[in-house]
Amino acid sequence: MNISDDDLFKDPPPKEDCEICMLPIPYAQSLCRVGKTYMPCCGKVLCSGCIIASFTEMEKGNMKQWCAFCRLPFPRTSGEFTKRYNNRMKVKDAEAFRMLGKCYLDGGGFVKKSINKAIELWNRAVELGSIGVHYYLATAYLEGRYVGRNPTIALHHFKMAAIGGHEKARYYLGLFEYDNGNHHRAMKHFMIAARSGYDDALKEVGMGYKAGHVTKDDYASTLRAYKESQDEMSSEQRTKAEMEFPFKD
Ligand SMILES: [Zn+2]
Ligand SMILES: [Zn+2]
């Protein structure tokens, strides 16, 4: 479970794009006011802007009640729902394990609440490399929520999520290092998270600059990268969606 600093601090991979509007989707839900939805029909992840726009068209009667990407009608029975997830899990789709786990965690809809089942699905999702589930498990182990509290396991999941590009996981690593007095390592994490478009991390970099932990050049380049990242993720459709349905994290 040892992770080298070379691996930990290398540039994260680019964010994946929404399959409809082709704009990047952040890993952290609601970052830059962008959310995401998994479609178990085709296995695509669509951004909140495209989802809300399609729901608006459905309400107006301009669009059928179907997936905005593959046009398969939404499942109407628990049998249909389960069949779709089973098909996606058969092809080892990590997002299907992540999302079905979340359904079991919340309960309702087609699924009866079961924490054990949720954790079982999430363990499978991380085996398949789900960045989102590394983050879920990190916070669960940190807070002792759904699983026994274990800060060591939490830290491992935060690192794996951050390496995969999870902006908030990267920010948390910065906070841990800062609390331990490791200002230089903290700022390295905050700069990576800020360059990925995360506001709170940018604030930390700004404070680090004032305190002398960050050079002027590093602060300036982080600020530029932050703005670029925010611009890439922003669109009128996404802003409109957020105004109509503000996300809860
Ligand atoms: Zn989109
Ligand atoms: Zn679909």
With beta carbons less than 8 A apart as the criterion, state whether 225 and 6 touch: no
Structure confidence at residue 248 as a pLDDT band (50, 70, 90): low
Give the model confidence (pLDDT) of 69-118 as tens digits. Answer: 999 999 999 999 999 999 999 999 999 999 999 999 999 889 999 999 99
Q: CA-to-CA distance for 75 and 232, rounded, in angstroms?
A: 33
Report, as an integer, the average pLDDT of 53-63: 95
Q: How far is the CA of 43 from the centre of ligand 2 (A)?
A: 7
**Residue 69: nearest ligand to its CA?**
2
| Residues around the ion ligand 2 (C-beta < 5 A) | 39, 41-42, 67, 69-70
Q: Nearest ligand to the C-alpha of residue 238?
A: 1
Dist. CA 38 → ligand 2 center (Å)? 9
What proportion of the chain, given as a percentage, has pLDDT over 70?
Answer: 98
CA of 244 to the centre of ligand 1 (A): 16
> How confident is the model at residue 247, as a pLDDT?
63
What is the distance in A from the centroid of ligand 1 to the CA of 156? 31
Q: Across the chain, what does the average pLDDT equal?
A: 95
Calpha distance 151→142 (Å, rounded): 5
- Per-residue pLDDT reduced to its tens digit, 157-188: 999 999 999 999 999 999 999 999 999 999 99
Nearest ligand to the C-alpha atom of residue 49:
1
Measured in Å, residue 101 CA sits from the centre of ligand 2 at 19
Query: What percent of the chain is modeled with pLDDT above 90?
Result: 93
Element of type H or E holding 162: helix 151-163
Give the residue-averaged pLDDT of 13-28: 96
Sign of CA dihedral 44, 199, 192, 235: positive
Of the bound ligands, which one is closest to the alpha carbon of residue 35?
A: 1
Q: How far is CA 246 from CA 8, 108, 154, 239, in A?
A: 33, 21, 29, 10
What distance in angstroms lies between residue 50's CA and the mean position of ligand 2's atoms? 13
pLDDT tier at 244, thresholds 50, 70, 90:
confident
DSSP letter at 61 equals T
pLDDT at 243: 87
* Averaged pLDDT, 24-52: 94
Q: Is pLDDT of 246 > 90?
A: no
CA of 65 to the centre of ligand 1 (A): 18
DSSP assignment string, 99-159 = HHHHHHHH-BTTB---HHHHHHHHHHHHHTT-HHHHHHHHHHHHHTSSS---HHHHHHHHH
Q: How far apart are CA 188 and CA 194, in angstroms?
A: 10
Q: Where are the domains of the chain?
A: 17-74
